Each structure stands twice: as structure tokens, then as C-alpha cells.
């Protein structure tokens, strides 16, 4: 049994303030709609340094004390794509958009009124509920299925 596989490592961060979330209105076709900002971990970069760097690049904010709050994963060719999920309410600076999409504060109660990516709600559950830690997509009989644990 082979224990090595191809892995892509990425981060997402829920930046929140009271009942508001900072979301990115992502314009790329592969994951379009309001979602959390994030990106790839660079070779040799620490996971925490990656989330701090990505948040600065995509939101303009300098985040502090990002807390690992879960993992999302799904299969890719010959391996898996792993997303380390963080959250923080500590930040400084001014919100700025990037070429990935516009950054917008959205009230939690208004989420159902904006065009979010398909899996934002279960993803937020994993990030906010202390008894959940993993969001995993599996392929069963050719169909994608989400598992939350």
C-alpha cells in the first residue's frame, strides 16, 4: 500500500467582526460567488504564515492570532487538496479588494440573500461549531458527497 500521494495545500480564513463576515465576491469560474478569502501555501512556508500573507494579499488586512478551526479536503488526480481553515476577529488596516474579487462585509443574517459558493454554509458550520473539525468531499459511485465530522 502506497502511503504517499500528491497534495495541494491551501488556507481559508473567516475574518469576522460581531455578526459580520468579510467575504470575497470571487470572479473566477472555478469557484464563483461569495466565499472566504484564501490561497495556496508556498513551498517551505509555515501554514500560519501562509494565512497571514494570503489575507494581506486578498483583503488588505493584517490579521493577528489566526486560529486553526478545521480542515477541508477533496480528491484530486492522484491525491487530495487540503484546505486549512482559520478564523480570527483580530485585524488592522483597511479592507481592499484584489484581482480575485471584491471584499465585502456581509451580516450573518443576510447570507441567504447573497450568491454564495455552493458549500459556504456547511463550511461555516465546521469553522464555527466546536464539535466539528472536518469537511470532506468523497466520490461514491461517481458522485461527489460532502461529509462533515
Taking residues 72-82, report their average pLDDT: 95
Q: From residue 103, how far is each of 1, 35, 87, 126, 129 by CA, in Å?
A: 44, 10, 16, 22, 24
| Mean pLDDT of the chain, nearest integer | 95
Is pLDDT at 79 greater than 90 in this prediction? yes
Question: What tens digit of pLDDT does each residue of 87-112 get?
Answer: 999 999 999 998 889 999 999 999 99
| pTM assigned to the model | 0.94
Question: What tens digit of pLDDT does each residue of 3-36 get?
Answer: 889 999 999 999 999 999 999 998 877 778 999 9
Q: Give the integer Cα–Cα distance in Å for 29 and 41.
A: 21
For residue 51, the SS3 value is helix
Taking residues 61-74, report their average pLDDT: 98
Nearest to 125 by CA among 48, 68, 70, 63: 70
Fold of 6-148: Nucleoside Triphosphate Pyrophosphohydrolase (3.90.79)
Is pLDDT at 130 greater than 90 in this prediction? yes
Under a CB-based contact definition with an 8 Å cutoff, are residues 63 and 87 in contact? no
Taking residues 132-137, report their average pLDDT: 97
Backbone angles phi, psi at 90, to 5 degrees: -115, 120
Q: Which three cell numbers stand for residue 60?
A: 488588505
- Strand (E) or helix (H) holding 144: strand 143-148
Taking residues 61-90, report their average pLDDT: 97
- Look up residue 77 and give its DSSP letter: T
Question: What tens digit of pLDDT does each residue of 112-123 get?
Answer: 999 999 899 999
**β-strands 134-140, 143-148: how paired?**
antiparallel
Report percent pLDDT > 90 for the chain. Answer: 89
State the pLDDT at residue 100: 85
State the pLDDT at residue 2: 81
Nearest to 31 by CA among 52, 10, 15, 60: 10
Say which residues have a Cβ less than 8 Å from residue 22's Cβ, sequence separation at least 6. Answer: 15, 16, 37, 59, 61, 95, 103, 104, 105, 106
Amino acid at each position: 500500500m502506497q502511503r504517499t500521494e500528491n497534495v495541494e495545500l491551501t488556507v481559508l480564513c473567516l475574518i469576522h467582526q460581531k455578526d459580520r463576515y468579510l467575504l470575497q465576491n470571487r470572479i473566477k469560474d472555478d469557484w464563483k460567488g461569495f466565499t472566504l478569502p484564501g490561497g495556496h501555501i508556498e513551498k517551505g512556508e509555515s501554514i500560519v504564515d501562509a494565512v497571514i500573507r494570503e489575507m494581506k494579499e486578498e483583503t488588505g488586512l493584517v490579521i493577528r492570532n489566526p486560529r486553526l478551526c478545521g480542515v477541508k479536503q477533496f480528491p484530486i488526480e492522484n491525491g487530495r487538496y487540503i484546505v486549512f481553515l482559520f478564523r480570527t476577529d483580530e485585524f488592522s488596516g483597511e479592507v481592499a479588494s484584489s484581482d480575485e474579487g471584491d471584499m465585502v462585509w456581509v451580516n450573518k443574517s443576510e447570507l441567504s440573500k447573497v450568491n454564495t459558493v455552493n458549500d459556504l454554509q456547511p463550511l461555516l458550520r465546521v469553522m464555527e461549531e466546536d464539535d466539528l473539525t472536518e469537511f470532506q468531499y468523497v466520490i461514491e459511485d461517481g458522485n461527489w458527497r460532502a461529509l462533515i465530522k
